[in-house]
Amino acid sequence: MQLVLFCVGRLKKGPERELVERYLDRLAKTGPQCGLNFGGVTEIVESRAQTAEQRKAEESARCRELVSDPRSALLLFDERGKALGSRDFAGKIGDLRDQGIQTLVAAIGGPDGHEPGLANDAHMVVALGKLTWPHQVARILVAEQLYRASAILNNHPYHRD
């Protein structure tokens, strides 16, 4: 299964980008052993529409384009989602892989979040906890958890309970 990271907003050069790249590089190296292939990052610029609803609609439409194939699934990161432990998160990714999903798009929204209907279309809606995170930190957390999921699925000792 191919993993694609969809992000609203661009990550500038700096330590945050380096850390994201480090985790995604690890994912690219370890993922194939458990059937997860890293398909890259799709970044879009934040919408400049006048209202939050219009911005969310434009950004969500771009995300929907990536999951238009019925063999794809959407993993949405949203504050209203379910807080999962790392093993449960990895298990759900493994389940999607085992169900024959070919592409899993992990989506991080912009400052306004996601259009509410996008959560209805998602296979999983996951919260990064109850705290609010800046986009750069959210991207680091997601990249690390995707790598951690591959490590768990590979029975690698990176994750410790």
Does 92 show up as a binding residue in the annotation?
no
**Helix ranges (DSSP H) in 31-134:** 52-66, 86-98, 116-121
Does 133 show up as a binding residue in the annotation?
yes
Does 13 show up as a binding residue in the annotation?
no
Contacts 24+ apart (CB under 8 A), 25-29: 26/147, 26/150, 27/3, 27/143, 27/146, 27/147, 27/150
Does 132 show up as a binding residue in the annotation?
yes
Q: Residue 85 burial by CB count (10 A; 0-12/13-18/19+): exposed, middle or buried?
A: exposed
Residue with tokens 């330590």: 15
Does 109 show up as a binding residue in the annotation?
yes
Q: Which two tokens stand for residue 123?
A: 């296979």
DSSP one-letter code for 25 = H
Determine the Cα angle at 40 with ends 129 and 128, to 5°: 0
Binding residues for S-adenosyl-L-methionine: 109, 128-133
Residue list, annotated binding site: 109, 128-133
